[in-house]
Amino acid sequence: MKRIGKPVFFIVALLIVALTVTSFTGIKVGSGSSQTTIIKGAGDIRWGIDIRGGVDVTFRPPEGYDATDAEIDSAKSIIETRLVYQNITDYEVYPDYNNDRIIVRYPWKAGEEDFDASAAIQELGETALLTFREGDSVDDEGKPTGDTLNNIILEGKDVVNATANYGPIDSTGVNQHYVSLEFSEEGTKAFATATGKLASSKGSISIWMDDVLISAPTVQSAITDGKCIISGNFDAASAAELANRIKAGSLPFKLEAESYGSINPIMGEKARDVMVLAGLIALILISIFMILYYRLPGVVASIALVGQVAGMVACVTGYFGAFGSFTLTLPGIAGIILSIGMGVDANVITSERIREELRAGKTIDGSIDAGNKNSFSAIFDSNITCIFVAVILMGVFGPPESLFAKILSPVLFMFGPAATGAVYSFGYTLLTGIIFNFVMGVTASRLMLKSLSRFKGLRKPWLFGGEKA
């Protein structure tokens, strides 16, 4: 058995306590309205429509524009993808083909106090029309003028995809953040003509959201394959922002908000509080049972379970900067509960294996080592199947440009296009829960238990589940 030092238990336990406290409370600096959030906490969770209510808005094309059913479907699909990309995973989007209308319902953002529906609509992102124009000439008001006003190269509907990436883009091999664009067949032809014209003079192609300039990259060479990159002084956030704004402008026409209002919650915050209280009571009862029945392994398992819950909360709130916050709804809560059950199961299997080895006459060290080794395959098998399910759910029901969709692209044709946030949310919480089960229920708990076994006063078989001498 590999020796684990005595301080390891305290180090791991303190890290779990720190994660738990900060994931629930968050870290903010400043005071009053000038507070700056460093780390998001449970108070920053965006709750679903069923718990907190939300916004009901009806969008329509510009006056006099007769949208086809295909264009309405395209706009609906882009709105759904945009919502999921912003991790708004509880929404309803309904097309009205007869009246050229799209009805959208989604929850209030975290921390909303004024419940201003007109202001909340802006969170959907730009509903304006995206255009790529020749040059970057602007007037005194910053609007396009001259050739830039008159020469529209392509529109948002010609953009198939826009993604933020990181890596080398030239022969220097230096990694940097950049935005990748992919155009449709018509867009490819128009872009090839424009870049061929502008490459020799190192002219620019500006990107506009209606009359607002959002980027003006310089053309380095003719681009004929329908794929290009925008590079510059990007960081991860600015690259993602530009990619999202370009995707948001891929609508076939400009959307206008015809009417909007508020939606009352179905369950309400009191129901949410009751659910949280019930979950807390269940966690306490499970911990008491584990401690009484398995003793020291039960204590370690309880600490690991708290860490697993904290890790899942952190993934929902956006605690880890690389991952945005998610809307927490009933399906998402179900994913959390299921993964907690998997965490309990992992600790029970390990504790029972250790108990069996002790009763077979092995030493404490030998029993812990054998118990951990013999239980891992069962834990791994049950958890890896859940990971497969979660990844498939996120790939099928998430944004088509997401990592999981790309991984599953060879088989996604069987399911057809979908961007169902509720199912995507369930897959997300289930996946993060299983990952933290491996981190806490397998790795952290085993480190802590091996560390405790180094203390002379605790080296009693009955403390590890064996018979009392």
Judged against a pLDDT cut of 80, whether residue 33 lies above it is answered with no
Strand residues in 284-434 grouped as ranges (E): 327-328
Residue 405 confidence (pLDDT): 60
Give a yes or no: residue 469 inside a domain: no
Give a yes or no: residue 141 inside a domain: yes
Tell me which of 263, 290, 305 is where a domain ends: 263
**pLDDT tens, residue by residue, 195-242:** 999 988 888 999 987 777 888 899 988 999 999 999 888 888 778 778
- Tell me if 338 sits within 8 A of 430, measured CB to CB: yes
Residue 195 confidence (pLDDT): 92
- Based on the domain organization, do 104 and 151 belong to the same domain? no
Using N-to-C axis directions, what is the helix angle for 445-452 and 330-359, rounded to 10°?
A: 30
- Based on the domain organization, do 120 and 140 belong to the same domain? no
Residue 15 confidence (pLDDT): 95
**pLDDT tens, residue by residue, 290-332:** 999 999 999 999 999 999 999 999 988 888 765 667 788 878 8
Q: Which is more confidently placed, 350 or 127?
A: 350
Q: What percent of the chain has pLDDT over 70?
A: 90
Decide: helix, strand or coil at residue 183.
Answer: strand
**pLDDT tens, residue by residue, 253-286:** 778 888 888 888 876 677 778 877 888 888 899 9
- Which CATH number do you get for residue 112? 3.30.70.3400
pTM: 0.69
Q: According to the per-residue pLDDT averaged within each range, which of 341-345, 404-408, 409-413 is highest? A: 341-345
- Based on the domain organization, do 222 and 370 belong to the same domain? no
- Based on the domain organization, do 411 and 323 belong to the same domain? yes
Residue 311 confidence (pLDDT): 93
Domains identified in the chain, total number? 3
Using N-to-C axis directions, what is the helix angle for 69-85 and 421-436, rounded to 10°?
A: 30
- Based on the domain organization, do 244 and 301 belong to the same domain? no
- Which CATH number do you get for residue 186? 3.30.1360.200
- Based on the domain organization, do 107 and 137 belong to the same domain? no
Average pLDDT over residues 354-369: 89
Tell me which of 200, 228, 263 is where a domain ends: 263
Give a yes or no: residue 44 inside a domain: no
Give a yes or no: residue 2 inside a domain: no
Give a yes or no: residue 156 inside a domain: yes
212-215 vs 159-168, strand pairing mode: unpaired
Give a yes or no: residue 45 inside a domain: no
Between CA 179 and CA 361 the distance in angstroms is 62
Q: Please give the residue range of the domain that contains residue 89.
A: 54-127+257-263
- Based on the domain organization, do 115 and 167 belong to the same domain? no
Average pLDDT over the chain reads: 84
- Based on the domain organization, do 293 and 399 belong to the same domain? yes
Between CA 315 and CA 44 the distance in angstroms is 12
Give a yes or no: residue 19 inside a domain: yes
Q: What percent of the chain has pLDDT over 90?
A: 28
Average pLDDT over residues 88-102: 87
- Which CATH number do you get for residue 300? 1.20.1640.10
- Based on the domain organization, do 190 and 316 belong to the same domain? no
Judged against a pLDDT cut of 80, whether residue 111 lies above it is answered with no
- Based on the domain organization, do 68 and 192 belong to the same domain? no
- Based on the domain organization, do 287 and 370 belong to the same domain? yes
Q: Which is more confidently placed, 178 or 396?
A: 178
Edge-to-edge strand ranges of the sheet holding 256-263: 92-96, 101-107, 54-60, 256-263
Average pLDDT over residues 108-124: 76
Give a yes or no: residue 94 inside a domain: yes
Tell me which of 234, 263, 292 is where a domain ends: 263
- Based on the domain organization, do 372 and 343 belong to the same domain? yes
Decide: helix, strand or coil at residue 401.
Answer: coil
